[in-house]
Amino acid sequence: MIRRMAAWIARNHWRFSPMNLYEKFERHRFDSRHGVDTQIDVHLSELNIDSPNKLHGNRYHATPPVSFRRVLKKLKVNLADYTFIDFGSGKGRTLLMASDFPFKRIIGVEFGEQLHRHAVANILRYKARHDTPIQSLNVDATQFALPDGPLILYFFNPFDEIVLRQVLANIRRAAAASQRKIFILYLYLQNEEVFQETGAFSLVFRWHRFDAFECLLA
């Protein structure tokens, strides 16, 4: 019994750490603090989505604010040079948080029309710290054409490895066609082998459930 308890504590001690408790507090007060609606999870089975990739998508779950801010700072790049893109942007919380940083442009990619409309409403309500253009696009991630210039691409486990492979292939083609810096921030990565198998992505750092990759120039 003692050994089982010790093993449980070893696996779950982070749940009671000061940072995790603060994270929970910030996550739940984000909406009331900013007058938006981003917290409640949405399962794709509840939505009408006209795409075969609905079978490969995961639920919408809001990004934790504290970790998001810290992981962006850990990249150590001039964010003003970069366009930020969230794949599977849902209700738009990550877009709103990104607008507190001086990005060149912010784009959400969401194939669920209802979630997309929700994001548009939240963007209109949110009072950002910067005048960065923010838009939510109602488009399938596999069909999205990456814009020019340096990019930071964000994923909160939005889909399975089938769609992820297609999206990473599009990223590789974009990098080969126009050489520029492309970073990927991935929260709760479950298919690391998809990044490893191509040899096109280099791990920059791993921190607190985040993996950061750089797309290698061809």
Q: Check whether 121 has a pLDDT greater than 80.
A: yes
Percent of the chain with pLDDT over 90: 71
Give the model's pLDDT for residue 189.
Answer: 94
Give the model's pLDDT for residue 22.
Answer: 52
Quote the CA–CA distance of 67 and 73 in Å, as a whole number.
Answer: 10
CA distances from 124 to 88, 92, 136, 139, 154 (A): 19, 11, 11, 20, 21
With vertex at residue 35, the alpha carbon angle to CA 75 and CA 60, rounded to the nearest 5 degrees, is 55
Find the mean pLDDT for residues 184-189. Answer: 96
Per-residue pLDDT band for 178 (boundaries 50, 70, 90) equals: confident
Judge if pTM exceeds 0.75. Answer: yes
Quote the CA–CA distance of 110 and 217 in Å, as a whole number.
Answer: 27
Q: Helices 18-34 & 65-74, crossing angle to 10 degrees?
A: 110
Strands 151-156 and 83-87, sheet pairing: parallel
Quote the CA–CA distance of 187 and 156 in Å, as a whole number.
Answer: 5
> 170 vs 32, which has greater pLDDT?
170
Per-residue pLDDT reduced to its tens digit, 70-106: 999 999 999 999 999 999 999 999 999 999 999 999 9
Per-residue pLDDT reduced to its tens digit, 59-70: 999 999 989 999
